[in-house]
Amino acid sequence: MPCLEKDPVNIRNEPFYRTLVEHSPDPILVLGPDLRVVFSTLKDMEVMGLPGVEPMGTSLLDYASVEYRDEMAGWLERVVADPERAHRFEFEGRQRIKGGRHLVAVARNLRRHPAVQGIVVTLQDVTTQRRAEMEARLDAMYDSLTGFARREFFSAQMHKAVAHAARHGEFLAVLFVDVDGFKAVNDALGHDAGDRILKEISVRLRDTLRSDDTIGRGQLLENEDRIARRGGDEFTIMLTKLGSPVNSALVAQRMLDAVAFPYSIDGKEVTVTISIGIAVFPQHGRSVEELIRNADTAMYAAKKQGKNIYRFHAEP
């Protein structure tokens, strides 16, 4: 194979360059004076999520989802004004097929170059990378077994809710939930059965909540974002916008009733209960840490008093 550095004739011939461009792993576009495509290595814009669309004469703005278009227009203005360097822009494609396409465009103004006389844009599809990053963020925020928030994410959400409650003079309650005798269930039925019971408990807890109570995974502040799994069989639940602290007891009782309904595991009927401690903002604490700690104390009081009940934090 010839060394290209020693064969300048080879690297300067048009077929060589044309072959490089045509076989580039990333699409290449050239934008004319009106910023519309005058050259493309693509036959259609399938890579942009628009199969069958002829690229010639189209604008990059045609390919971006609506929320990116103003920012992209500003980016193109900077490309035109600054021919000295390459400019990078990341955006989401207009057609959100299978969750959307994430693309990176890198542009260089070569209008003054006699052989090009346009703006050269390369496109790179980074969808797989962005989805992997999103999954990693979700894994850090949510428990994989129950789908509920992990304690750190829940704590961050609770800080916001407590600040909101303080500003607006609202009541907020934290419920600390612990499954009664769960170790015995695991020992008797095995960890796989224990995990299945925990998943079913998580469904029942979520289903007892109103849309403005706070727990685990999904849209922020929707029901699935409103429970945290703190440990193996412990959960914390935040109830917001309470008309009265008494309302938290109504929710706790619904949870007790829902969880106590028998479970069918491998043809066996299993009964599991929970104990719940309740701390209410502001009378039982004004900080996230104090509220969770006092709800935890109240939960242990519920266990000492017979389990399968709820108890409020006892003020000193």
Quick one: CA torsion of 130, 134, 135, 139, rounded to 10 degrees?
150
Average pLDDT (231-249) is 88
Distance CA 26, CA 124 (A): 6
The topology under which CATH files domain 142-312 is Alpha-Beta Plaits (3.30.70)
3-state secondary structure of 54: coil
Higher confidence at residue 281 or residue 18?
A: 281
Please answer whether residues 161 and 172 qualify as being in contact, where contact means their C-beta atoms are separated by less than 8 angstroms: yes
What does residue 118 show for φ and ψ, rounded to 5 degrees?
-165, -175
Q: Which of 44, 233, 257, 266 is catalytic?
A: 233
pLDDT tens digits, one per residue of 45-87: 766 666 777 888 888 888 888 888 999 999 999 999 998 889 9
Q: DSSP secondary structure string, 235-284?
A: EEEEEEEESSTHHHHHHHHHHHHHHHS-EEETTEEE---EEEEEEEETTT
Higher confidence at residue 33 or residue 141?
A: 33
Average pLDDT (107-128) is 87
At position 218, the amino acid (one-letter code) is: G
Domain ranges (residues) in the chain: 4-131, 142-312
Distance CA 280, CA 286 (A): 9
**Threshold 0.85, pTM exceeds:** no
Residue 133 pLDDT more than 90?
no
Is position 195 annotated as part of the catalytic site? Answer: no
In the CATH scheme, what is the code of domain 4-131?
3.30.450.20
**Residue 99 banded pLDDT, cuts 50, 70, 90:** low
Residue 292 pLDDT more than 90?
yes
